[in-house]
Amino acid sequence: MGRDGDGVTAHAMQGATLIRSARGTDEAAALAHLDFDASRTVHIGDGTPNGIPTAVLPTGGARLPALTQDTPPDVIGAWVRIWIAGALADRPNWDGVICAAQGDVRHWIHISANEVVSCQSTLTPRLAAALEGATPPDEQALADSLSRPERLAAHLRAAEVSGNRAAITGHLIGAELAATRRYWLGQEVILISPDGTASGLETALVAQGVPVGTLAADGLLPAGLAALASAFGLAD
């Protein structure tokens, strides 16, 4: 169990099988709603963060901490590690990039040999919400900022004045793709978001010739939690 947004989410596991889930305002409330007598509890998001590069999941223990990176400075929540483990469950030895949206932050994460190698995160979803951007993003605006990201501030002002909310989102995504080019160029990309959509990002990547797929975060939880149970020796 662990904090998830403004509450705590708890999952009951029987070996490597997810039995049920519950949510509460705090740990006590989440466990009460779960109504499950567990012999062991794993705390997700607790403990000293693991520095990148590191394994997607640690071996053993009772806590799954977040991930941190020194250069560029970054933090990736522990739930994202579970999503990654779920995505890799049927992709053994996969090498590529996972782009995971958690809240209003988007993480671009290079995965190789079941390790998190490096990451680059952006605030594109937060900026799009603050500037009242709309989806689907304007394709021409996206292309303009992908090719000229240094003009982002001017592009955004022009879109604001003209009332083109789709262009606001397009410019932001274009600038994000320019900033993360080394993560998607020549890579296979898996997009993970709460509802399995990526607000125009998938279309933009496909237009660049990138092999890409989208997955819903909640759909990855059973396989991710099963991988965590196995890593911590709780799957028997």
Give the model confidence (pLDDT) of 100-128 as tens digits: 999 899 999 999 999 999 999 999 999 99
Q: Does the bond joining 92 to the residue before it have cis omega, within 30 degrees of 0?
A: no
Task: Check residue 40 and give its pLDDT.
Answer: 83
Tokens of 17: 């099988």
Residue 5 has pLDDT above 80, yes or no: no
Give the pLDDT band of residue 197 (cuts 50, 70, 90). low
**Beta-strand pair 50-51/67-69:** parallel
**Residue 164: Cβ-neighbour burial (10 angstroms; 0-12, 13-18, 19+):** middle
**How does residue 198 score in pLDDT terms, banded at 50, 70 and 90?**
low
Q: How far apart are CA 108 and CA 205, in angstroms?
A: 13
Rounded mean pLDDT, 194-200: 67
Domain parsing of the chain, residue ranges: 1-41, 43-223
Fold that domain 43-223 belongs to in CATH:
Nucleotidyltransferase; domain 5 (3.30.420)
Sequence letter at residue 54 = T
User: Is the backbone of residue 188 left (phi > 0), alpha (psi -120 to 50) or beta?
Assistant: beta
d(C-alpha 76, C-alpha 68), whole Å: 6
pTM, 2 dp: 0.93
Indicate if the pLDDT at residue 76 is higher than 90: yes
38 burial via Cβ count (<10 Å: 0-12, 13-18, 19+): middle
Residue 236's pLDDT is what?
64
